[in-house]
Amino acid sequence: MFDADSVFLSRVLTELTLSFHIIYATIGVGVPLMIMLAQWVGIKKNDEHYILLARRWTRGFVITVAVGVVTGTAIGLQLSLLWPNFMELAGNVIALPLFMETFAFFFEAIFLGIYLYTWDRFENQKKHMLLLIPVALGAAFSAVFITMVNAFMNAPQGFDIVNGQLVNVNPILAMFNPAMPTKVAHVVATAFMTSAFILASIAAFRLLKGSNHVYHKKALYLTMKVGLIFSIAAALIGDFSGKYLAEYQPEKLAAAEWHFETEEAAPLILFGILKDGETKYALEIPYALSILAHNDPTAEVIGLDQFPEDEIPPLSIHYLFNLMVFIGMWMIFLAGVFWLGVKKSWAFVQSRWFRWLIVLGGPLSIIAIEAGWWMAEVGRQPWVLRGIMKTADAATSSNQVDLMLVLFAGLYVVLGIGSVVVLRRMFKRNPVERELEERHAEKGGV
């Protein structure tokens, strides 16, 4: 028997930890690429503003990495404390990707430290920029390995089950499961996209607050261009994710799309509410679900009528899917209009109201990331290891989870507020204009 309260509180605490960690983890994966691009453009164009962009972004990045380490450690701790039965069953399978994730992080951290403290020790900036390659690779592969663990939970393979135990484990086969390609690609692409839009949001905010310096304009142009590229990539990968779900997790796709009955030429349901078992006030796009699932407008799509009631995911993930997709589409549109407006010299893309839309793009991108992860995790329910172990059977029976929830929630409040305060003071006390003047003075003195 399991304690329903312990299961519920364990799920709440895990979701709280993941929701907080994903913000810093996303920044940790995406910002190294942005730093590398800024320094590369600065070297190529011999432009001190892009070099300074890389320098200032790196300082802020170090703070987010520090918080990410704490929250990442909390996740590892909670896996053992809150989900001991899952770890007992699958621990020897996921040990390798968890170890590789730790190795990738240390690889990143070592070179980040060298990069950060050797800014003025390289006469040739190209050699200094080379240090960013292992930083960016380490950050990306950190996301790759941890996402492999999540993918395994959705599509477990690489073992045999004998008397309730996982034996004959092949960790490589377990890591390269059917869910891995689309999950890993989507996580990495959306991390790059979100990081770009967060940095664009900051640049637009500084321009709105009266700092009309060309530094912020260059930051905005670079980040919006990168954001556009990766938001389009995320949308394309999302299409492949839909096809993966149709083949391997049809119950999750059906729940997300409110597709209740198996049928051909299935329409896509957007928005709406469920009332007396019927969908009302929804926007219905004919044939779109069949196209999403099978690239065929007449293809049959499996509905929820094919699954036992106790194995159907919560239907609330429909709204999470809608939120994620529409924010993604909005960011593609916003970034596309911005870049077309820059090329065509449209005045409105420099207007205050348009820049406020860009400022809102940063928080919206974070919300889309959160919605996507909630959909992925809640949409796997009632399974923690799909088809093998249910969430209720994996959780701890301890009656101390409520205390843990309070303590960890307090920790996240302190970390969240602390990181914002430190970052704000760091850049407010050292504005771009002053730093440029100091660097010019140093060069003049030399």
Angle of helix 180-208 relative to helix 317-344, nearest 10 degrees, comes to 50
Q: List b or e across 304-317, with b for residues whose CB sees 16 or more CB atoms inside 10 angstroms.
A: beeeeeeebbeeeb
Residue 235 CA to residue 250 CA, distance in Å, equals 20
Residue reference for tokens 């895990």 = 14
Alpha helix (H) residue ranges in 295-400: 317-344, 352-378, 391-394
- Check residue 400 and report its DSSP letter: -
Residue 49 CA to residue 31 CA, distance in Å, equals 17
Count of alpha carbons within 13 angstroms of residue 391, beta-carbon side = 22
Cβ–Cβ < 8 Å for 277, 304: no
Element (H, E) at 422: helix 401-428
Cβ–Cβ < 8 Å for 89, 25: no
Cβ–Cβ < 8 Å for 97, 148: yes
Residue 83 CA to residue 96 CA, distance in Å, equals 18
Residue 208 CA to residue 51 CA, distance in Å, equals 23
Kindly write down the DSSP assignment for every residue of 281-309, as one continuous string.
Answer: EEEEETTHHHHHHHS-TT-EE--GGGS-G
Partners of 280 in the β-ladder: 273
Residue 56 CA to residue 286 CA, distance in Å, equals 49
**Torsion from C-alpha of 153, 155, 158, 162, nearest 10 degrees:** 70
Handedness of CA 339, 345, 348, 349 (dihedral sign): positive
Q: Identify the pLDDT of residue 446.
A: 45
Outline where DSSP puts E strands in 69-216: 160-162, 165-167
Residue reference for tokens 């593609």 = 332
Kindly write down the DSSP assignment for every residue of 19-79, as one continuous string.
Answer: HHHHHHHHHHHHHHHHHHHHHHHHHHHT-HHHHHHHHHHHHHHHHHHHHHHHHHHHHHHHH
Cβ–Cβ < 8 Å for 232, 289: no
- Asked if residue 382 has a cis previous peptide bond (ω within 30° of 0), the answer is yes
Close Cβ partners of 34 (under 8 Å, ≥ 6 residues apart)? 57, 195, 196, 199, 222, 223, 226
Q: Identify the pLDDT of residue 72.
A: 84
Q: Identify the pLDDT of residue 439.
A: 63
Q: CB count, 10 Å around CB of 78?
A: 20
Would you kindly state where each structural domain of the chain is located, as residue ranges?
4-248+313-445
Mean pLDDT by 10 residues, the chain (446 residues): 72 91 90 92 87 87 87 85 86 86 88 85 82 91 91 88 81 90 93 94 88 83 93 92 89 88 86 80 86 87 88 90 92 93 85 91 93 90 88 84 89 90 82 66 54
Residue reference for tokens 């990143």 = 108
Close Cβ partners of 306 (under 8 Å, ≥ 6 residues apart)? 250, 262
Q: Identify the pLDDT of residue 196.
A: 94
Residue 320 CA to residue 149 CA, distance in Å, equals 22
